[in-house]
Amino acid sequence: MCGICCSVSFAVEHANRDLRADLLYNLKQRGPSSSKQLLKCDANYQCLFSGHTLHLRGAVTAQPLEDEGGNVFLWNGEVFNGLKVETQDNDTRIVFNCLSSCTNESDILSLISKVQGPWSFIYYQASSHSLWFGRDFFGRRSLLWHFNNLSESFCLSSVGTQTSGVVTQWQEVPVSGIFRIDLHSTATSKCVILKLYPWNSNSGEKVIQECVGSLTQISANLPKFVSVEASEAKLYLENPIVPLNMILPQGPFETHCTDISRGPPTRETLQVCLNTHMREVVQQFIDVLSISVKRRVLCLPRDESLTPDEALGTRGRKANIAILFSGGIDSMVIATLADRHIPLDEPIDLLNVAFMTTEKARPARFNPKKSKKKNHCEFAFEECSPNPAAMADDNPDTRFNVPDRVTGRAGLKELQAINPSRIWNFVEINVSLEELQKLRRARICQLIQPLDTVLDDSIGCAVWFASRGIGYVAAADKVKSYQSDAKVILTGIGADEQLAGYSRHRVCFQKHGFEGLNKEIEMELGRISSRNLGRDDRVIGDHGKEARFPFLDENVVSFLNSLPIWEKANLTLPRGIGEKLLLRLAAMQLGLTASALLPKRAMQFGSRIAKMEKNNEKASDKCGRLQGVSLENLSIEKR
């Protein structure tokens, strides 16, 4: 992960020679390996480029890069496929070389279309006085913009700053396509025109329609002096994934769960679904997901990682890969596949976060029936875990024994059974209310913004603490404090959206059948950038670490999009089986046992963060705890 930023000013008297200190600090957190600034001056405009690199592969390549033609490039991404990048190469330089050799717009678009992997970039094309920028199709990397008409300037940045009291706010750059700003004409007209080159998701009429739709949407959120324009005809980016298969089953089908009274889901119920055809589909899924995980665990500078850690007895190796780990099926499948590709003598860190539960909240877990009756929250049934391991736990210190800790420990046992010779560092990250409040104020709130709901607060904070990786590991009968230094963090995000894992999918299916479910899934994948990915990227990047999303690999999404919905989920089957059916079948084939049958539990409930503070909020409410933090009482603490 890197921190990239470009601040452009048109009024020479306001020209910035440096970035604001708080912005610079936030960017440096993301790219601790090297920092560099570059000023480009023209008669009409001035661009300050600021690049902060997290070194991951090839030789350290300080950003921004500049070539002899005066072009400048900032890259926050990974080329996993599409362009050839050898292990010893730096993908930043390769993409820049390709860009520099582009002579027209369509060249640039076909180059960007080829790159597979997460990215956001800023490219200054000297010959046309243009600034190109954008985010990948899913928005796996953050990029924000901030327009300021007072000082006649604008700024693009991976991460923003606290801006309370200021009229114009940071906003996420939409993922509808990539943008170009002509700096010369902006300077003379005093109006910023954002030219959008959209993804070509369909052919003909529909593209134009969609393009107009996204233009209207984008413009609505911008200040008056900024407008969005479509590029000239036929200048599109090529959609990197195949469209969602919306086919409906022939003949009548059931939309209500028939099996609910038969008790907890069993392996046998799952086994029944594994006919010859499904066996084949499951194998194809495992293959494509395995390649995705492989790409994400092998693109690393492994040779440098020989720092012995006798204390933990890790045989002189440190973990290069960590996994956000709840013990749920998504993280278990990723861990199992990661184990296939990571060198055997290298430990894997499993990051498991728990927020201290209050006396009042705790008994709920041990008595699901009671909590069901008491809790009128719409998510109530996401919470009660039928997992038998929850009852078997006999640790006297139960304050942090939240549901995800319990399933995490059970998951650890399964992984140890699958590969006993691997060192699995189960990192128990215990967070107290006091620590949560302190760090939310000091750091996390400015990373979450411009997102601002209660749900963003809960998940943003939980992911921040989990990815920081400071906790405890039990080794040789002793509990030791532990800090995960793995620069790459795998997360299971994207599985629920594509495989109908949320309870809302069941509700939707019961109301609107397969057609409704297809539409819901299409919509959710379309909004995952603005709902989750930008936020998670900013939060994880703050530790100088990089999030990677195996379920959002282009080939994985294309494969899942090509399947009819009923091969991915069968919501007439009970919870713990029907949702994410395909993933459960894959888990079973991979040798996983109990975790293959765990129902979905949202992170905010599993980690118990949602129980820490106010209990009566709705997830979609604006979160007061993220607001009203003024710059004066913001004391940034260095770790």
472 binds ligand NAG (CB under 6 A): yes
* Residues 366-405 interacting with ligand NAG (rule: CB under 6 A): 395, 397, 400-401, 405
Rounded-to-integer distance, Cα 446 and Cα 628, Å: 11
69 binds ligand NAG (CB under 6 A): no
Which CB sits closer to ligand NAG, 608 or 625?
608
Which CB sits closer to ligand NAG, 224 or 369?
224
112, 211, 350, 354: which one binds ligand NAG (CB under 6 A): 354
Which CB sits closer to ligand NAG, 154 or 400?
400
Contacting range for ligand NAG; rule: CB under 6 A; set: 86-94, 110-118, 329-337, 342-350: 86-94
16, 106, 371, 510: which one binds ligand NAG (CB under 6 A): 106
Contacting range for ligand NAG; rule: CB under 6 A; set: 21-29, 30-38, 501-509, 565-573: 565-573
CB of residue 128 to ligand NAG, shortest distance in Å: 13
Rounded-to-integer distance, Cα 98 and Cα 84, Å: 11
Which CB sits closer to ligand NAG, 106 or 219?
106
231 binds ligand NAG (CB under 6 A): no
Q: Are 185 and 193 in contact (CB under 8 A)?
A: yes
Which CB sits closer to ligand NAG, 170 or 549?
170
Rounded-to-integer distance, Cα 529 and Cα 171, Å: 13
DSSP letters, 95-127, are: HHHHHHT--SHHHHHHHHHH-BS-EEEEEEEGG
Cα–chain center distance at 466: 13
9, 81, 90, 518: which one binds ligand NAG (CB under 6 A): 90
Instruction: Residue 95: count other Cβ atoms within 10 Å of its Cβ.
Output: 24
Secondary structure of residue 149 in the 3-state scheme: coil
Contacting range for ligand NAG; rule: CB under 6 A; set: 54-62, 284-292, 375-383, 460-468: 54-62
The letter for the amino acid at 356 is M
* Cα four-point dihedral sign 385, 386, 389, 392: positive
Contacting range for ligand NAG; rule: CB under 6 A; set: 5-13, 100-108, 434-442, 458-466: 100-108
CB of residue 120 to ligand NAG, shortest distance in Å: 20
Rounded-to-integer distance, Cα 242 and Cα 558, Å: 5
The letter for the amino acid at 428 is E
CB of residue 223 to ligand NAG, shortest distance in Å: 5
The letter for the amino acid at 431 is V
104 binds ligand NAG (CB under 6 A): yes
Which CB sits closer to ligand NAG, 119 or 138?
119
CB of residue 354 to ligand NAG, shortest distance in Å: 6
Rounded-to-integer distance, Cα 93 and Cα 9, Å: 27
**C-alpha atoms less than 13 angstroms from C-alpha of 638 in its C-beta half-sphere:** 4
Phi-psi category of 500—alpha, beta or left, where left has phi over 0 and alpha has psi -120 to 50?
left
22, 67, 89, 522: which one binds ligand NAG (CB under 6 A): 89
Per-residue contact string for residues 412-431; x = within reach of ligand NAG by CB under 6 A: ----------------x-x-
CB of residue 635 to ligand NAG, shortest distance in Å: 26
Phi-psi category of 264—alpha, beta or left, where left has phi over 0 and alpha has psi -120 to 50?
beta
Tokens representing 285 are 């899924």
Rounded-to-integer distance, Cα 144 and Cα 130, Å: 18
69, 70, 223, 343: which one binds ligand NAG (CB under 6 A): 223
CB of residue 277 to ligand NAG, shortest distance in Å: 11
636 binds ligand NAG (CB under 6 A): no
Q: Are 334 and 550 in contact (CB under 8 A)?
A: yes
* 2 counts as catalytic: yes
What are the φ and ψ backbone dihedral angles of 97, each rounded to 5 degrees? Answer: -60, -45
* Residues 251-310 interacting with ligand NAG (rule: CB under 6 A): 253, 272
227, 239, 375, 572: which one binds ligand NAG (CB under 6 A): 572
> Is omega for the bond preceding 64 within 30 degrees of 0, making it cis?
yes
The letter for the amino acid at 166 is V
Tokens representing 376 are 């009128």
Q: Across the strands, what pairs with 48?
A: 7, 39
CB of residue 500 to ligand NAG, shortest distance in Å: 12
Q: Closest residue to ligand NAG, Cβ-based?
A: 400
Rounded-to-integer distance, Cα 189 and Cα 195, Å: 15
Which residue is it, tokens 């939060």? 539
Rounded-to-integer distance, Cα 447 and Cα 542, Å: 8
CB of residue 428 to ligand NAG, shortest distance in Å: 5
Rounded-to-integer distance, Cα 74 and Cα 51, Å: 7
* Residues 124-153 interacting with ligand NAG (rule: CB under 6 A): 149-150
DSSP class of residue 357?
A: P
CB of residue 448 to ligand NAG, shortest distance in Å: 25
Which CB sits closer to ligand NAG, 223 or 308?
223
CB of residue 353 to ligand NAG, shortest distance in Å: 11
Cα–chain center distance at 396: 35
List residues with catalytic annotation: 2
Interacting residue ranges for ligand NAG, rule: CB under 6 A: 58-59, 61, 89-90, 93, 103-104, 106-107, 149-150, 223-224, 249, 253, 272, 354, 395, 397, 400-401, 405, 428, 430, 472, 566, 570, 572-573
